[in-house]
Amino acid sequence: MKDHFHTPLRQTPFHPRTSALNRLNQWGAWAGYTTALAFDDEAMEYTAIRNGASLYDLCPMVKYRITGPDAAAYLNRLTIRNAAKLSVGGVHYTVWCDDAGKVLDDGTLFRHGAEDFMLCCQERHLPWLLDSATGYEVQVREVTEEVAALSLQGPCSAAVLQAAGFDMCNLRPFRMAKLGFEGVEITISRTGFTGDLGYEIWATPAQALPLWDALMRAGAPWGIRPIGTSALNLARIEAGFIITNMDFIPADQAVREDRARSPFELSLDWMIDWEKGHFTGRRALLAEKARGSSWALVGLDIEGNVSAEGSLIYHNRKTEVGHVTAAAWSPATKRNIALAQVRRPHHTGDTLWVEVYALRELQYHKLMLRAHVTERPFFAPARRRATPPGAF
């Protein structure tokens, strides 16, 4: 793009609508795009996620189309899960590692056809993906700018879709369906980043504004709201989901060797398919499985109601054993929760202490708060998996 340095952040196809609604004028950068952090009331945006319906612009998410006769074999070599087992119309969560078994990124893999996949993730990895394709009859292409994506989340999201003319009541979690809109095919998947009932809608940029208008119009009786990244982040913490460059550093970006993390250290080893054959990082992960890991990513319950984000974690109040990567007071569970990286063996249920600095009238007060390792997700309503969804 000529003279791109004059406008370093691009606008998504939904920007004419999101900019008009952003009363707070709060914007952030995401993968080279301008994205809304909050529109008018962050608390009400969170409430829409948990009690109504919410709409979030997903366009900046990095997307790759992977096609060809060897597409499944290539993805088996690239990722730790078995892509060949993913049926057409299915979606699964996955990660991929470097040769040392350290995570490069996580993302969702969509299978559109026998030889047609789409991989969505946080960071850009085209050179790595192309290098990994050597020897395979496969084409890898970034399609981020070709896809306009929206996330429709909340207990009323199925009702909103039905009111808009999209009956998704029989669509199961991690499945997708194709249907027509404005004379062009769109894809709706039962996926999301809130840990609640929700869907993601994949269209073309030309369909973006009519799609936004149709959903906002259909969702009016359910109080649908556009939401920003701040409200979504609170929901994802409650769901126990991790984010690249917030909860872990991609191995190719880590300046210090001890900062990268393996699937074992991120509690993602449940995805590893040891029987599918070789994949990048397999030997290193087998060695780690035999000797044990250094770190664990855990959920914490922390006393009080002061958010502990960025805090250090101690054993016996004096030995540093980890740090909090994400934290919040959870409105849904009425708990002070956190995601944290903790040195083993302190991840097994010891009473830990979190050093929190609370800002009170321009002065910071140091608090040493008790914390207990707890199960994730912190919030997991049955409606997120109910098929058909309940009527809300």
Element of type H or E holding 273: none
Q: How far is CA 315 from the centre of its chain?
A: 30
Q: How many CB atoms lie within 10 A of CB 110?
A: 25
User: Where do the H-state alpha helices sit in 224-368?
Assistant: 229-239, 282-291
**How many residues are recorded in the chain?**
392
Q: Which of 298, 295, 366, 378 is nearest to 332 (CA)?
A: 378
Distances, alpha carbon 330 to alpha carbons 88, 128, 149, 378, in Å: 37, 38, 27, 9
Is there a binding annotation on residue 200? yes
The 3-state DSSP class for residue 328 equals strand
Looking at beta carbons, which pairs linking 313-320 to residues 24 or more positions away fall under 8 Å? 313/340, 313/342, 313/352, 313/353, 313/354, 313/355, 313/371, 314/352, 314/353, 314/354, 314/355, 314/368, 315/346, 315/350, 315/352, 315/353, 316/353, 317/353, 317/368
Identity at 232, one-letter amino acid code? L
Instruction: Residue 307: name the closest of 356, 353, 368 by CA.
Output: 356
Q: How far is the CA of 360 from the CAs of 105, 306, 311, 324, 365, in angstroms?
A: 38, 11, 17, 21, 7
Residue 191 near residue 200, CB atoms below 8 Å: yes
Residue 375 CA: distances (Å) to CA of 232, 268, 347, 352: 21, 14, 11, 15
Nearest in space to 156 (alpha carbons), one of 255, 80, 47, 287 = 47
Can you say which residues are annotated as belonging to the binding site for substrate?
A: 200
Can you say which residues are annotated as belonging to the binding site?
A: 200
